[in-house]
Amino acid sequence: MTLLRQSGEPGTVADRARRVPGEEGIWVFVLGDMTVFALFFGTFMYSRGKNPAVFARDHAELHVALGTLNTVLLLSSSLLVVLAVQRVLAGQHAGAWRLIAAALCCGAGFVAVKAVEWTQLFAARKGVGSGEFFSYYFMFTGIHLLHVLIGLAVLSRLIVVTRRAEFTDKQARLCETGGIFWHMVDLLWVVLFALFYLVR
């Protein structure tokens, strides 16, 4: 941790200076979750192969523009979190909370857009029982949405932590760990977006 405070840009670490980002245990969670989502992605692609016409037809009902907007929101929120964590790790955590708050707003925006999308779909009588494509869509994006909500809670906690004047190494690591969770949420959406909104 203090190594980073000396160098600032950890881009030139020698092999002996390599470190696990965040708290080590978070990677158990992250890699596990990524694997489960990989299962989701695989089952989706398999079903799509079996029912190409139905999937193509139902896929057309999604609003690609809204999906793209959501992707932009999450990518931007991730950037803001990275910038905040960089400051925290460099010992300059004052003001970092504003970046995290902005990221939180982007995340809230994601939830709002999702609400709009889902309302439109429900109004068109599409639900979790409306055939394979939509059952996958609502299940997987729903589970992802749950991750987003948890992520928003995590970000809120990070705001509280980073607003403190005194700051320990342990808290800095907590920020990095929370950031990693948020990036995972972003990363999973990137694939969901591609599979549901882009692939025909």
Partner 1 sequence: MTPGIQKTMAISGAAFVLLLFPAIIMIGLLPPIAPMRTANEIAVFWSTNTGLKRVGLVLLLAASGLQAPFGALLAIRIRQMDAGRHSPLAYLQLVGTGLAVVAIIMPTFAFAAASYRPERDPQITQALNDLGWLPFVMNWPAATIQCLAIGFAIFGAVHEIWPRWLGYFNVWCGFIFAAGGLVVLFKDGVFAWNGLLAFWMVAVFFGLWFLIMSWQLWVSVAAPEGNSAAPAAPETARSQSQQ
Partner 2 sequence: MASKTATRRVTLVWVLLLALTFGSFLVGIEQGAGFASVGALIIVGIAMLKVRLIGIHFMDLRVAPVALRALFEGYVLAVFLILVALDVFVKP
| Sites of contact with partner 2 (CB under 8 A) | 8-11, 13, 15, 17-21, 27, 31, 34-35, 38, 41-42, 45-46, 48-52, 56, 64, 68, 71-72, 75-76, 78-79, 81-83, 86-87, 89-90, 92, 176, 179-180, 183-184, 186-187, 190-191, 193-195, 197-200
Q: Which of 164, 159, 163, 195 is nearest to 179 (CA)?
A: 159
The residue type of 32 is: G
The DSSP output letter for 11 is: G
Site for partner 1 in 41-70 (CB under 8 A): 43
Contact between 39 and partner 1 (CB under 8 A)?
yes
Cα–Cα distance measured from residue 52 to residue 57, given in angstroms and rounded to the nearest whole number: 9
Query: Helices (H) and strands (E) in the chain — how many of each?
Result: 7, 0
What would the x/- binding string for partner 1 be over residues 84 to 123, using CB under 8 A?
----------------------------------------
Q: Which of 178, 1, 168, 193 is nearest to 103 (CA)?
A: 178
Residue 39 partner contact from partner 2, partner 1, none using kind-dependent CB cut-offs of 5 to 8 Å: partner 1
Cα–Cα distance measured from residue 89 to residue 1, given in angstroms and rounded to the nearest whole number: 7
> Which residues here bind partner 1, judged by CB under 8 A?
23-26, 28-29, 32-33, 36, 39-40, 43, 128-129, 132, 135, 139, 170
